[in-house]
Amino acid sequence: MNSRLDMRSIFRCMMEGGYYPTYEKTHILFNIDDNTAVVEYEEGVLSIRLFFSIEEEAYDLFLEASNATMTETFMVKPAVLDDMKNIMFSCEILCDTVKEFRKFFPIGVERLTEAVMMHKAEMKRLILAEKVSSAAISASEDTYIMSSKGLKPLS
């Protein structure tokens, strides 16, 4: 089957592929690892997107992790949205036919999943680094307080 791609054929292929999608007026929803993904198709460009909320106090870490992830991926780009409260992972694929969709959609989903995992790993690394840094600062403050009181830290 090498017919032209449209939202209905995308939905049909996703059903056949076991993605259990939900058809909306302008997009299709399905799950990737317990997260809702959005599929859109317009003028030969297939977009697969995931959205996550950003905790306000972790905004800088999200931005740093997003930049690190962006340098490691070529198909998926994380972007902090204008409201600064959400992040989107987006994979765009040029795709005109059902045959191309069947070939490239699973790869796009896989790359999207990998990018989210990369981002999570980078967030964990950054949070750990921040905790270690905070502990080091706290320890140096304790050392100063103890030495200013005539007490010597154990070495």
User: How much is the average pLDDT of 19-40?
Assistant: 93
Q: Which carries the bigger pLDDT value, residue 133 or residue 148?
A: 133
**Beta carbons of 28 and 14 less than 8 angstroms apart:** yes
Residue 54 CA to residue 75 CA, distance in Å, equals 22
Most confident stretch, 102-116, 119-133, 140-154: 102-116
pLDDT of residue 83: 74
Mean pLDDT on 32-60: 89
Which DSSP string do the residues of 97-145 spell out, in sequence order?
Answer: BHHHHHHHHHHHHHHHHHHHHHHHHHHHHHHHHHHHHHHHHHHHHHHHH
Which segment of 9-23, 61-75, 82-96, 138-152 scores lowest on mean pLDDT? Answer: 138-152
Mean of pLDDT values over 75-99: 88
- Residue 25 in this model has a pLDDT that exceeds 70: yes
Q: Residue 18: pLDDT band by 50, 70, 90 thresholds?
A: very high
Q: What distance in Å separates the CA atoms of residue 26 and residue 48, rounded to the nearest whole number? A: 13
Does position 136 have pLDDT exceeding 70, yes or no? no
Q: Which CATH code for domain 7-148?
A: 3.30.1460.10
Q: State the pTM of this model.
A: 0.78
Question: Mapping DSSP to helix (H, G, I), strand (E, B) and coil, where does residue 55 land?
Answer: coil
Angle in degrees, CA 37, 12, 91, rounded to 5: 30
Is the pLDDT score of 65 beyond 70? yes
